[in-house]
Each structure stands twice: as structure tokens, then as C-alpha cells.
């Protein structure tokens, strides 16, 4: 997960500079990060934690959409989906430890 997060950060930063391989770097990071979050399971009964897990999965999917937008569109529309994913991931990162 940490390697995926570092690749996400590097890919996003290099995309701003216009490096042509940045979307590939970002997509590999997004796949690693999303795969690790999707394999993490919660078997408890707490409704709040279940909701936060769903939000994490939505954030992971938004990261994957961001990677696709980096390839498809030549404008900065990918920044919107990246921002949404980052806000969701940040929110759940702070809320999950206090609930588990």
C-alpha cells in the first residue's frame, strides 16, 4: 500500500510537469493502492465502520477514474477527481482509527 501511495504521489506531481510517463506511474500506484484497500475486509457489525469502508472503496475507485482521465483528456479535469478521492481518503483515514 505504501509503494502504491508513493507512486500515486509521484505520478500526480510529475503529471503537473508534463512528463509523458506520469499517467502510467499514477495508474500503477492507483491499482496497487486500490487493490490493497479492496482486499482489506471488515467483518464487524458497526454501521459507521461499514459506511467508512464503503467511502474508502469509492475513494479508491475515484483514484482509478483519475488515472483513466490522465490518459483520455489533455486538460486538467483529472485534478477534480483526484481532489475528491483525496478528500474521501483523508476523511476516512482520520475517522477509521477512532471507530475500530
C-alpha cell, 21: 510517463
Close Cβ partners of 61 (under 8 Å, ≥ 6 residues apart): 34
Say how far apart CA 81 and CA 75 lie, in whole Å.
13
**Domain residue ranges in the chain:** 2-99
**99 has a pLDDT exceeding 70:** no
Q: What pLDDT does 100 receive?
A: 60
Percent of the chain with pLDDT over 90: 77
Say how far apart CA 88 and CA 96 lie, in whole Å.
12
31-43 confidence digits (pLDDT tens): 999 999 999 888 8
Residue 63 · residue 8 · CB < 8 Å: yes
C-alpha cell, 25: 506511474
5-28 confidence digits (pLDDT tens): 999 999 999 998 989 999 999 999
Amino acid at each position: 500500500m505504501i509503494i502504491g501511495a508513493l507512486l500515486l504521489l509521484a505520478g500526480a506531481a510529475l503529471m503537473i510537469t508534463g512528463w509523458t510517463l506520469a499517467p502510467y506511474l499514477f495508474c500503477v500506484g492507483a491499482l496497487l493502492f486500490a487493490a490493497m484497500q479492496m482486499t482489506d475486509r471488515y467483518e464487524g457489525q458497526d454501521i459507521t465502520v461499514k459506511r467508512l469502508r464503503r467511502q474508502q472503496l469509492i475513494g479508491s475507485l475515484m483514484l482509478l477514474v483519475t488515472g483513466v482521465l490522465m490518459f483520455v483528456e489533455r486538460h486538467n479535469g483529472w485534478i477534480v477527481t483526484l481532489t475528491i478521492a483525496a478528500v474521501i481518503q483523508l476523511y476516512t483515514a482520520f475517522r477509521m482509527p477512532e471507530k475500530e
